[in-house]
Chain A
Amino acid sequence: MLEAFILTVITASTPLLLAAIGELVVERSGVLNLGVEGMMVMGAVAGFAVTNVTGSPLLGILGGLVAGAAVSLLFGFVTLTLVANQVASGLALTLFGLGLSGLIGEAYVGTPGLRLPALDLPGLTDLPVVGRILFGQDVLVYVSFALVAAVSWFLFRTRAGLVLRAIGDNHGSAHALGYSVVGVRYLAVMFGGACAGLGGAYLSVAYTPQWVENMSAGRGWIALALVVFSSWLPGRLVIGAYLFGAVSILNLHAQALGIGIPSQFLTMLPYLATIVVLVAISGNRRATAFNTPACLGKSFVPDR
């Protein structure tokens, strides 16, 4: 029972984690891209379409990644090159993505998709209790954890990561030191788009292999909230995404057990739990402020 519960939580949390880890890097570089939902849904439709055309879920995932990165460039051009307002541009990106994905996807409504196969290591996967959990997931689950580890290492253990954080904290000084603020931010935005695209592709290729309009169903917004929840720390992001996933699944199990609480209140639980946990851990205000990118959402134009 516990094993089954954990397996379900993993699939529910993975798309959130994938999209959120990308946005975390974007925000660390000082850019606030509220278009995660739009990039995710583009990733979902591209992932489904490519899988459908090529017959290969792996290529589909690649397609989702590319689509996410491609639409993020639109946001990048408007906010980085033309220094437009980031909040509004992100919302524009969401509208754009929802519209375009719907148009592209019209041809695929009612078409069954192919599922990304799960890992199957003879011997290991059959281990009791932990076998399926550790060795029986699809590749994107491992990718999501690898990404978190890689991002954590990159941000805090490499020089390039230091530069990225410096740009997010004080783009003026970083520029004066000779770093290309706009260049780094472009790369960060594309990375965020690629990750959101992966998260979207996960939905249409691994989670539920099908395409329906708006199938991201608000997960992009949750991913954004989780980045805030993590106070921009990759490790905490895993906790946030899995907490949210676990409480969501718990709601379904509680209902199936028939505990008699109105379903609306149970459905509120993941949202409330996220708030409560955030309040509990945000007691240390100095630490939070330390991790918040000081230039988040502010446009940068080099003085000449």
Chain B
Amino acid sequence: MRVELVKRPEMSRTMMLVSPLIAVGLTVVVAAAVFAVQGFDPLQGLWLFFLEPLTSLWGLEQLITKATPLVIVALGLSVCYLSNNWNIGAEGQLTIGAIVGSIPPVLFPHFVSPLVLPLMLILAAAGGAAYASVPALLKTRFGTNEILTSLMLVYCSTLFLDWLVRGPWRSPQGYNFPITIDFNESAILNPWSIGGVYVNLSAFVALALVAILAVVMRSTLKGFEIRVLGQSPRAGAFAGFSHRRMTLFAFALSGAFAGLAGMMVVMAEIQKLQPVISPGYGFTAIIVAFLGRLNPVGILVAGLVIASSYLGGEAIQTSLQMSSKVATLIQGVLLFFVLACDTLILYRVRLVGGPSRETARA
């Protein structure tokens, strides 16, 4: 018995919609089993993990808040990955972006003006882009592999932030704890109420970026260039596209997105700098990007799914006293199933007996 894949003549539209449902269904079965093994009521566990977070306005607010940075960072990364540039250092670009963007409120606390907010966002995007340009430049100039450099720069950025908030940027009013001064009111993002749901500007930025990127990738020359250079650098070169410029562009773009996302998280939720400003958004966004099939709309959906799995994980912890490890485990399982079921879009899966054709031919 073995599994054999048969390529479909074209992508199956039905499967595009059905495969995620199958994946969720399989995850539900496994999750129920895990809950039962751990000695909990599987039905109650399933309700809490999958549905409870969506049943209250507050839950929806939290879902949006958690998904927003994931989506923004993943959008930037998708451009990188499509153009065959392996930026896995978004966490570092997010951190540096937030640091650079925080210069106005931390160093010029009396500068209160409506200009502060856009200025911070621009600085954050610029900072993230600049930090992302380091691995890009090393790649184009010396041929240094960007996977290693972008990852190593993550560690450097978080240590730099740590030093900053314990040293030169430490708040004089903070009892020498590692925090900067609180941002002034013009450096804070306040949520807007929309039909009782409080939503931040950042969520709209995320939606706008999804829309823009969807259009750019589908129907502009730039989008074409990204995809061509990603799939076949040679063909891209014949078309007159520069591989080098694309590397710099893709890294700068994803760095800018990450910086923007980090800054908005800080402005909306922390409102100062501290040693930890991100629960690994830059890394989780890699999962979101691939789960969303590197497609802007897909990323939006994937961001919401991953965010809801975090909320569900908290719900089973607080309501059932289940270990947080169970949630991490189920997240892994969910991802495996979603990825595996995506195969159904391109292939028909057959179970066949006997020796494989591959070996038979050999």
In residues 267-290 of chain B, which contact A (Cβ within 8 Å)? 283, 286-287, 290
Q: Mark contacts of A79-113 with chain B using CB atoms, 8 A cut-off: 1 yes-contact digit, 0 otherwise.
A: 00111110111011111111111110010000000
CB neighbours of A182 from chain B (8 A): 358
Is B149's CB within 8 Å of the partner chain A?
yes
Q: Mark contacts of B349-362 with chain A using CB atoms, 8 A cut-off: 1 yes-contact digit, 0 otherwise.
A: 10000001111011
Contact of A95 among B148, B335, B342 (CB under 8 A): B335
CA separation between A266 and B156, bound complex, in Å? 10
CA separation between A95 and B339, bound complex, in Å? 14
Contact of A99 among B153, B291, B328 (CB under 8 A): B328
Contact of B343 among A82, A92, A99 (CB under 8 A): A82
- In this complex, what residue of B is CB-closest to A104? B325
Q: When the two chains form their complex, are residues B156 and A91 in contact, meaning their CB atoms are under 8 A apart?
A: no
CA separation between A288 and B283, bound complex, in Å? 27
Q: How far is the CB of B215 from chain A (nearest CB, A)?
A: 25
CB neighbours of B349 from chain A (8 A): 82
Most buried by B among A213, A224, A268: A268
CA separation between A240 and B232, bound complex, in Å? 31
Q: When the two chains form their complex, are residues B152 and A264 in contact, meaning their CB atoms are under 8 A apart?
A: no
Contact of A264 among B138, B160, B327, B343 (CB under 8 A): B160
CB neighbours of A213 from chain B (8 A): 325
Q: When the two chains form their complex, are residues A265 and B159 in contact, meaning their CB atoms are under 8 A apart?
A: yes
The answer to whether residues A271 and B323 also contact, given A82-B3, A98-B328, A182-B358 and a CB cut-off of 8 A, is no
CB neighbours of A179 from chain B (8 A): 362
CA separation between A245 and B250, bound complex, in Å? 33
Q: When the two chains form their complex, are residues A103 and B325 in contact, meaning their CB atoms are under 8 A apart?
A: yes
Main secondary structure of the interface of A (DSSP, over half): helix
CB neighbours of A275 from chain B (8 A): 138, 144, 148-149, 152-153
Tally of chain B residues near chain A (CB < 8 A):
56
Q: How far is the CB of B183 from chain A (nearest CB, A)?
A: 23
Contact of B329 among A103, A278, A303 (CB under 8 A): A103
Is B39's CB within 8 Å of the partner chain A?
no
- In this complex, what residue of A is CB-closest to B333? A96
Is B155's CB within 8 Å of the partner chain A?
yes
CA separation between A231 and B151, bound complex, in Å? 16
CA separation between A183 and B169, bound complex, in Å? 56
Is A283's CB within 8 Å of the partner chain B?
yes
Q: When the two chains form their complex, are residues A271 and B144 in contact, meaning their CB atoms are under 8 A apart?
A: no
Q: How far is the CB of B332 from chain A (nearest CB, A)?
A: 3
In residues 165-181 of chain B, which contact A (Cβ within 8 Å)? 166-167
Q: Mark contacts of A212-226 with chain B using CB atoms, 8 A cut-off: 1 yes-contact digit, 0 otherwise.
A: 010000000100110
Contact of B336 among A74, A225, A262 (CB under 8 A): A74
The answer to whether residues A87 and B152 also contact, given A78-B336, A82-B3 and a CB cut-off of 8 A, is no
6 shortest interchain CB distances as A-B pairs: A96-B332, A99-B329, A99-B328, A102-B325, A88-B290, A92-B335
- Given A95-B328, A228-B147, A264-B162, 12 additional A-B pairs, CB 8 A: A81-B5, A84-B343, A89-B336, A89-B339, A91-B286, A92-B332, A93-B332, A97-B332, A98-B332, A302-B358, A303-B7, A304-B6
